[in-house]
């Protein structure tokens, strides 16, 4: 059987044909949707065996890494199925079972599970079937030792191997780091690795995946690299390393291999072939959430010296995740590049702002690497529009999500209008949260004695009556006390509607409470505990009454502050917005997030799209966090 596919429709057609061979006339309806890096099976089949085989077969197709089985079983005297175990979509499929020779018959779960005892049968991954739904295995904290090794000297034109691992060898590597909480019966989990560096001419993956094992040694990712001919021996050789589970980034760090080499070099009278050298340096933060859904496309952007940026990207597709990297030269420092394009945005004329914004978007698109542009176009061709994109970047200035692809004769809109998009700091010590917890919404809406914001006051009434928010005393002390953990309840969302201002570089950015401002340095400190404790979403609907006033935005540093403090995410405008538009955006976004449990990126995108032609302010809103994160249902 041909296990390749080029679209969701073709995958559904081939999967249905394979199921009909094993379960004749049992497939009533079969649809396939692609959500990020997840293949979703929907429809109706006539038996549990057919339902289980559908997932196992789907996992055997080229490039399919995660499957959510939402098929329903509807047959005579058979209840609809909702087996929780079937949605454990992380880990290796039964490829040998699924890709049997055509004359062999795949055993169904009814043949491999002892239904009389409900015994669970484990495969090579976390795949099992059970008659009775069982409680999820207790999670266990898994620790590993991040390693980077190299063989060969870093010098112009040299060929070297770079080996990236997550070792179990405590004797060799000292203290471990926690890489996540896994189910206690986990078996194997794959983590892909990408590397890049300005000094590298090539970095070809020989095995680009680390395979973690509950028992036994893990495998490492190995890259055959060539040092660029123009590299100056002894100068920095900064290696960028990214870890991904599927397409979801779970760690990133950088290390200077030239410095590590100089520290470890010991002259020898009789040189001999040396084993790979262990490279010391700052250890990364790697956090794997095994069953978290990833986006269709992840982009990692590292700021280099001057106006240069190193891009790495991974995109889901029929042939598996494809990746690439490229150096970008902006032609100006990132802040100047961004300010030149964006400073006029708040005051664009109502009758022409959309066309001007499209021009700004295309100017940003032209700075993106050609390899990324091609990868994006391939995703549109194979997955279709509307797929989720995650940016992780240490550049807080350029809103890459605003880029407008120059495709289809200009018919494609801005990325963040066409797609769910979110951003997160690349080197945050706290990882992106895959979900927001349950709890209370707390709301701070000041009533100013001057420059009153009437729509903000309406927003405060609305969020309390519609979403059950708790009204907080809108004073500086009350706000800071809550941030420091002085609140009895669990907070899932912290909402603010009022005046704000961007930081001009003089530590003057912040929000205005009723009695005094709260600045970034009041938030960006270790006393703030509510982020780590509850992981809430922060909604800063901060807006001025006059159109010319500066607003809270990306370059004020709130994105970095919430990430450093353990918050789950942030929604805030990039430039000045009228309070009436701010209220409308809240009404169109927050119920989807809270009541419908829509993913962060999609909820903000829908509100942005709905209002994009009405006001330029709608295009100011950015989402910070995991693009796929959503509130858990209570």
| Domain edges within the chain | 8-112, 139-266+273-291, 327-419, 435-631
389 within 8 A of 423, measured Cβ to Cβ: no
435-631 shares the fold of 139-266+273-291: no
Alpha-carbon torsion angle 90, 567, 301, 35, nearest 10: 40
State residue 65's pLDDT score. Answer: 83
Q: Which of 492, 481, 500 is nearest to 552 (CA)?
A: 500
CA dihedral sign of residues 123, 129, 130, 133: positive
Laid out side by side, the sheet with 569-573 consists of 322-329, 308-315, 297-303, 389-393, 421-425, 621-625, 569-573, 537-542, 491-498, 440-444, 470-471
Residues 436-453 have pLDDT tens digits of 989 999 999 999 888 788
Identify the residue with better confidence: 59 or 1: 59
> Which CATH fold topology does 139-266+273-291 show?
Immunoglobulin-like (2.60.40)
Rounded distance between C-alpha atoms, residue 451 and residue 322, angstroms: 52
pLDDT exceeds cutoff 90 at 274: no
Full-model pTM: 0.87
Q: Alpha-carbon distance 532 to 528, whole Å?
A: 8
CATH code, 435-631: 3.40.50.1460
The pLDDT tens digits of the residues spanning 333-348 come to: 888 898 889 888 988 9
Q: How confident is the model at residue 396 (pLDDT cuts 50, 70, 90)?
A: confident
Q: Using the predicted structure, report yes or no on whether residue 242 has a pLDDT greater than 90.
A: yes
Answer whether CATH 3.30.420.40 is correct for domain 8-112: no
Report how far residue 427's alpha carbon sits from residue 252's, in angstroms, rounded to the nearest whole number: 6
Q: Is the pLDDT of residue 463 over 90?
A: yes
pLDDT (0 to 100) of residue 631: 94
């Amino acid at each position: 059987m041909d296990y390749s596919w080029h679209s969701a429709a073709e995958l559904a057609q081939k999967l249905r044909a394979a199921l009909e061979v094993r379960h004749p006339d049992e497939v009533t309806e079969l649809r396939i949707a692609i959500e990020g890096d997840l293949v979703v099976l929907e429809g109706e089949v006539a038996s549990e065996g057919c339902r289980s085989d559908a997932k196992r077969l789907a996992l055997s197709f080229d490039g399919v890494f995660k499957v959510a089985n939402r098929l329903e079983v509807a047959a005579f005297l058979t209840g609809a199925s909702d087996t929780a175990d079937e949605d454990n979509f992380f880990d290796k499929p039964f490829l040998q079972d699924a890709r049997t020779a055509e004359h062999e018959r795949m055993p169904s779960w009814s043949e491999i599970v002892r239904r009389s005892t409900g015994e669970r049968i484990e495969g090579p991954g976390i795949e099992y079937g059970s008659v009775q739904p069982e409680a999820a295995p207790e999670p266990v904290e898994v620790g590993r030792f991040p390693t980077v090794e190299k063989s060969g000297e870093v010098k112009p034109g040299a060929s070297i191997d770079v080996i990236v691992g997550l070792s179990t060898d405590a004797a060799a590597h000292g203290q471990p780091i926690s890489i996540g909480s896994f189910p206690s019966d986990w078996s194997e989990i794959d983590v892909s690795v990408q590397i890049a560096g300005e000094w590298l001419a090539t970095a070809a993956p020989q095995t680009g995946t680390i395979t973690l094992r509950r028992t036994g040694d893990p495998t490492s990712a190995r890259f055959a690299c060539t040092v660029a001919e123009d590299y100056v021996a002894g100068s920095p050789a900064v290696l960028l390393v990214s870890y991904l589970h599927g397409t979801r980034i779970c760690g990133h760090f950088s290390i200077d291999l030239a410095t590590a080499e100089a520290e470890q070099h010991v002259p020898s009278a009789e040189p001999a072939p040396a084993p790979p050298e262990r490279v010391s340096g700052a250890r990364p933060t790697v956090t794997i959430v095994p069953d978290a859904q990833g986006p269709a496309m992840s982009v990692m952007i590292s700021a280099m010296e001057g106006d240069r940026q190193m891009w790495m990207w991974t995109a889901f597709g029929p042939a598996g995740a494809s990746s690439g990297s490229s150096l970008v030269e902006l032609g100006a420092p990132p802040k100047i590049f961004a300010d030149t394009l964006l400073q006029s945005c708040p005051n664009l004329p109502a009758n022409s702002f959309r066309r001007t914004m499209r021009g700004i978007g295309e100017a940003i698109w032209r700075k993106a690497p050609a390899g990324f542009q091609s990868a994006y176009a391939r995703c549109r061709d194979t997955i279709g529009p509307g797929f989720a994109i995650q940016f992780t970047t240490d550049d807080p200035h350029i809103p890459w999500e605003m880029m407008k692809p120059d495709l289809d004769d200009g018919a494609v809109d801005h990325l963040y209008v066409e797609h769910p998009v979110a951003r997160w700091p690349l080197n945050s010590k706290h990882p992106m949260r895959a979900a927001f917890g349950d709890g209370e919404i707390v709301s701070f809406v000041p009533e100013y004695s001057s420059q009153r914001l009437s729509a903000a006051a309406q927003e405060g009434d609305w969020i309390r009556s519609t979403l059950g928010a708790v009204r907080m005393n809108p004073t500086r002390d009350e706000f800071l006390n809550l941030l420091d953990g002085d609140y009895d309840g669990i907070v899932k969302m912290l909402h603010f509607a009022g005046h704000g201002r961007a930081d001009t570089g003089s530590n003057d950015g912040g929000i205005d409470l009723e009695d005094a401002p709260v600045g970034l340095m009041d938030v960006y400190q270790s006393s703030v505990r509510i982020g780590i404790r509850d992981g809430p979403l922060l909604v800063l609907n901060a807006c001025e009454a006059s159109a010319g006033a500066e607003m809270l935005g990306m370059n004020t540093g709130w994105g970095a502050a919430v990430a450093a403090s353990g918050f789950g995410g942030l929604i805030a405008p990039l430039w000045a917005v009228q309070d009436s538009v701010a209220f409308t955006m809240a009404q169109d976004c927050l119920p989807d997030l809270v009541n419908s449990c829509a993913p962060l990126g999609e909820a903000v995108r829908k509100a942005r799209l709905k209002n994009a032609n009405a006001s330029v302010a709608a295009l100011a809103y950015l989402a910070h966090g995991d693009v796929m994160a959503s509130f858990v249902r209570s």
